[in-house]
Amino acid sequence: MSSYKDLLAQREQLDKQIKEVIAREKADGIAKAKLIIEQYGLSASDLFSRKAGVKGAGGKVAPKYRNPSTGETWTGRGKAPKWIEGKDRSGYLI
């Protein structure tokens, strides 16, 4: 039966082997990808184009409310501004 120290040494050796194999396979994958990119004349936009209609996180949102006295707007998301806080919002709709 193996001792605790023996098992730790085996784990270190396996971790090292895993890292080496990952690095080698990653390099092989990159080489294959480069070959295909060159073969077909692909560009970054061909590979990483965004699909139409898909919005990224943090996109702009159109304002939903407007303060008639200052023209300040609010999207209706997050904490309400003081000028609309606690009031009927229907009068401020855009």
Q: Quick: pLDDT tens for 38-63.
A: 999 998 888 887 766 555 566 788 99
Beta carbons of 92 and 66 less than 8 angstroms apart: yes
* Per-position DSSP letters for 39-58, written without gaps between them: HHT--HHHHHPPPTTPPPTT
pLDDT of residue 54: 58
In 3-state terms the chain splits into helix, strand, coil percentages (rounded to 5) of: 50, 5, 45
On the question of pLDDT at 80 being above 80, the answer is: yes
pLDDT of residue 31: 97
- Whole-model pTM? 0.46
On the question of pLDDT at 12 being above 80, the answer is: yes
pLDDT of residue 55: 58
Winning range, highest mean pLDDT, from 30-34, 45-49, 73-77, 85-89: 30-34
